[in-house]
Amino acid sequence: MSKKVKETSILTQRSKPEKIVFGIIFALFLIYAVSLIFPFVWMAVLSLEEAKSLNTAMKLNGAFYIPEVLYFSNYIDAFTTMEDNGVNFIGMLMNSAWFVGIGLLFTMFWHSITAYIFAKYKFKGRNFIYTCAIFSMIVPIIGSSGAMYRLMAELNLYDSGPLYLMVTSCGGFGGTFLMMYGIFANISWSYAEAVFIDGGSDNTVFFRIMLPQALPAIAAMAVNTGIGLWNNYGTALMYMPSTPTVASGLYKISLYISDHGRPIYYAGLIISIVPVLIIYGFMSGSMMKNLSIGGLKG
Amino acid sequence: MQQDKTLGKTKKDGSMGSFRRGQLRFIWGWIIIPIISWLVFFLYVNMSSFIQAFQDRVTGEWTFKNFVDFWRSLTGENFSGGGRIDIALGNTMKFFFLGLVVNSPIQLFVAYFLFKKILGYKFYRFVFYFPVIISNVAMTGVFKEFIETAGPLGQICESLGIALPAGGLLNSSKTVVGTVMVYSVWDSIGLHMLLYCGAMARIPLEVLESGRLDGVGGWRELINLILPLIWPTMSTLLMLQITGILGASGQILLLVGENDAFTLRAQTLSHWIFSQVYKGGNHMQGQYSLVSATGLSLTLVMLPFVMFVRWLFLEKIPTVEY
């Protein structure tokens, strides 16, 4: 009830100049929204075109034409004909699936346990480690990728697929750490004290009490991280060339796609964005409520 | 926010020692893996990169040659390493300031109007996040196709009597950088929108209501009330952005390519490093030592600036508690 009152409160009342500003901004937002949606609709339409020169077709019919015959078979051809490094599109989808699964599991787990411990416990060396971790986040370092590349080769992790991902996803510090830190810092410690009194351990507190309480926020972050992993083309391109993901594979295919092959390539691009749109559609509300960042101060 | 968990008060059986030992086992048992990961993949890698900067790429002998090559490229001389660091550094600064001066304020304003529940805000909030969730490969792919001379933009321009460069906007030395910058703005408007919206949503409405009752308008509400209240979020995001100053880049690789003739014109430091390390997929053929020397030199130059900004943000600008 009180919320309803607030929604119709003074905050929603706008003066005439404000109404004009909001009107202009609304128009600008609409233009921007159309600029985001329309190109994909246009691409989806052309993905149904016959495998022929799109440049010629667009010159003849105009860029906004709709093909007379719609070739939905392009979407099947995308799965069977597109390939990178001997891996077809189905293989790339499978690679993306484990890439996201392993990366997400390891990243979220290690970041959450690390952030929880730093947010809730005092221990010897805590401030030193925290300072080092934060320092490493704020030093503008570039140019170490050559050393990283060599290290991966020396550790036999280069092109090792899931093993590479498992080993490199065990870090607990980074942007996700800052977000998780804020979440755990805001959960009351009195729950933990009750568990300790009942004889529970620190593991019980974390896995049974703290993690479930932080779950909505962690789930929102997991969606963000998972989408990031799905779209990550650089890692697979540089460190896992034999197991191209959808993102890295489509990038490589884009380098040599012919004009005639563009409708099928477009179909591949459309397929690649469907999973993230569905997941985002379901989770956007939760992400909106639960995403926050802070904690550089420690 | 951190609480004292020495747990003297919460011990169960009076054996503070064993309880504390169990707690330390829990702490170190779990964080040892992330710490090792940090030691290997951050500390060792960066120390290794530091040493590599002083070594010959082929023989491994100690040398300052990499720094000489870096300087020659920075001052515009041609050298065997390929690419032009002076151009790459210039473009990197352009993209950094574009992000800081144009993109970040736009992101904040967008979040503000969504927070103020502008007509259709739920739809806009959903759509504006597309560039974040849709892969850069797809975003750049559709952008490139759309701005082709035979594509929609080309035909719209033609109907308006405006001639695009013959090979397209990305294939002209005059327009390639500007086009990548336009893409960067288009692509990043929703970038931190959810974080800003989330931070604004946590502001007590009573604060804003009393501001309104005191006659505070929209602009002052944003600058004098909302900004101080979301400063922890904003300062963290700005700090991370400033930390990434040397990595600032548009989607050069995806928009312009790896070895395209116009790549040089639009190249940024991160793209230059990528091309030097990756070398078109020729494993272990990269100019790692030159990359390390370049990275080390530029990091040392930028470090004082970043530390100053951090000090300014965290020590000099007060955080409002609520």
How much is the pLDDT for B63?
94
Distance of alpha carbon A244 from alpha carbon B137, whole angstroms: 14
Domain membership flag for residue A78: no
Domain count, chain B: 1
Query: By CA distance, what is A280's nearest residue in B?
Result: B133
How far away is chain B from the Cα of A77, in angstroms, using its nearest Cα? 18
* Cβ distance of A22 and B113 shorter than 8 Å: yes
Which one, of A207, A245, A254, lies nearest residue A226 by Cα? A245
Angstrom distances, CA of residue B62 to CA of A149, B55, B292, B322: 21, 5, 14, 56
Domain membership flag for residue A261: no
Domain membership flag for residue A46: no
Q: Which residue has the higher pLDDT, A172 or B5?
A: A172
Distance of alpha carbon A118 from alpha carbon A224, whole angstroms: 23
Q: Which residues pair with A90 in a beta bridge?
A: none
How far away is chain A from the Cα of B154, in angstroms, using its nearest Cα? 9
Which one, of B100, B50, B56, lies nearest residue B80 by Cα? B56
3-state secondary structure of B60: coil
φ, ψ of residue A88 to 5 degrees: the values are: -85, 180
Helix (H) or strand (E) holding A139, with range, is none
* CATH number for the domain harbouring residue B160: 1.10.3720.10
Domain membership flag for residue A64: no
How far away is chain A from the Cα of B174, in angstroms, using its nearest Cα? 23
Token pair 């932080």: residue: A214
Angstrom distances, CA of residue B268 to CA of A261, A282, B53, B85, B272: 31, 37, 20, 8, 6
Domain count, chain A: 1
Question: What is the average pLDDT score of chain B?
Answer: 87
How much is the pLDDT for A116?
96
Cβ atoms A239, A157 nearer than 8 A: yes
Cβ atoms A84, A249 nearer than 8 A: yes
pLDDT in tens, chain A (298 residues): 444 444 556 777 788 888 999 999 999 999 999 999 999 999 999 999 988 778 888 888 888 888 889 999 999 999 999 999 899 999 999 999 999 999 999 999 999 999 999 999 999 999 999 999 888 888 888 889 889 988 999 999 999 999 999 999 999 888 889 889 988 998 999 999 999 999 899 999 999 999 999 998 899 889 989 999 999 999 999 999 999 999 999 999 998 888 888 999 999 999 999 999 999 888 887 877 777 665 554 4
* Cβ distance of B135 and A29 shorter than 8 Å: no
- Which residue among A39, A158, A294 places its CB closest to the CB of B146? A39
φ, ψ of residue B320 to 5 degrees: the values are: -85, 125
Which one, of B206, B213, B208, B200, lies nearest residue B225 by Cα? B208
Distance of alpha carbon A168 from alpha carbon B186, whole angstroms: 32
> Who contacts A181 (Cβ-Cβ below 8 Å, separation ≥6)?
A115, A118, A119, A294, A295
Domain membership flag for residue A31: no
Domain membership flag for residue A133: yes
How much is the pLDDT for A292?
66
Question: Is B229 an interface residue toward A (CB < 8 Å)?
Answer: no
Token pair 């390891």: residue: A106
Question: Is B64 an interface residue toward A (CB < 8 Å)?
Answer: no
Q: For residue A78, list chain B residues with Cβ-Cβ distance below 8 A.
A: none
- Which residue among A172, A178, A231 places its CB closest to the CB of B34? A172
Domain membership flag for residue B222: yes
How far away is chain B from the Cα of A293, in angstroms, using its nearest Cα? 6
Q: Which residues pair with A84 in a beta bridge?
A: A87
Q: In b/e form, how buried is each residue of B167-203, taking b as 16+ CB within 10 angstroms?
A: ebbbbbeebbbebbbbbbeebbbbbbbbbbbbbbeeb
Which one, of B200, B251, B257, lies nearest residue B229 by Cα? B200
B89-93: average pLDDT: 94
Residue A250 belongs to domain spanning: 85-255+279-290
Neighbours of A205 (CB within 10 A): 21
* Cβ distance of A26 and B30 shorter than 8 Å: no
- Structure-block tokens of residue B260: 């395209």
Domain membership flag for residue A37: no
Site from A8, A121, A233, A279 to mutate, B interface, most B CB atoms within 10 angstroms: A121
Helix (H) or strand (E) holding A84, with range, is strand A83-84
Q: Looking at the predicted structure, is the pLDDT value of residue B9 above 70?
A: no
- Structure-block tokens of residue B130: 């597309």
Cα atoms in the Cβ-side hemisphere of radius 13 Å centred on A264 = 19
Residue type, B118: I
How much is the pLDDT for B277?
86
Cβ atoms B41, A147 nearer than 8 A: no
Cβ atoms A184, A210 nearer than 8 A: yes
- Structure-block tokens of residue A30: 């609409």
Q: In b/e form, how buried is each residue of B14-26, taking b as 16+ CB within 10 angstroms?
A: eeeeebeeebeeb
How far away is chain A from the Cα of B161, in angstroms, using its nearest Cα? 16
Q: For residue B293, list chain A residues with Cβ-Cβ distance below 8 A.
A: 143
Q: In b/e form, how buried is each residue of A254-290, taking b as 16+ CB within 10 angstroms?
A: beebeeebbbbbbbbbbbbbebbeeebeebbeebbbb
Domain membership flag for residue A182: yes
Positive or negative: CA dihedral B164, B170, B173, B177 = positive
- Structure-block tokens of residue B171: 């294939």
Angstrom distances, CA of residue B82 to CA of A148, A196, B259, B273, B290: 21, 62, 11, 11, 11
How much is the pLDDT for B10?
44
Domain membership flag for residue B38: no
Give the model confidence (pLDDT) of B193-250 as tens digits. 888 988 898 899 889 999 988 888 889 999 999 999 999 889 888 988 998 899 888 8
Give the model confidence (pLDDT) of B265-281 as tens digits. 888 999 888 888 887 66
How far away is chain A from the Cα of B98, in angstroms, using its nearest Cα? 18
* CATH number for the domain harbouring residue A283: 1.10.3720.10
- Residue B82 binned pLDDT confidence (cut-offs 50, 70, 90): low
Residue B207 belongs to domain spanning: 84-316
Which one, of A243, A270, A269, A266, lies nearest residue A96 by Cα? A243
B 127-166 residues inside an 8 A Cβ radius of A? 127-138, 141-143, 145-146, 148, 150-152, 154-155
The region that residue A159 occupies, defined by phi over 0 for left and psi between -120 and 50 for alpha, beta otherwise, is left
Question: Is B256 an interface residue toward A (CB < 8 Å)?
Answer: no
Helix runs in B189-287, H state only: 193-201, 205-213, 218-220, 227-229, 231-243, 252-255, 263-266, 269-278
Give the model confidence (pLDDT) of B23-73 as tens digits. 999 999 999 999 999 999 999 999 999 999 999 988 889 999 999 989 988
The residue count for chain B = 322
Q: For residue B95, list chain A residues with Cβ-Cβ distance below 8 A.
A: none
Q: Where are the beta strands (DSSP E) in chain B?
A: none
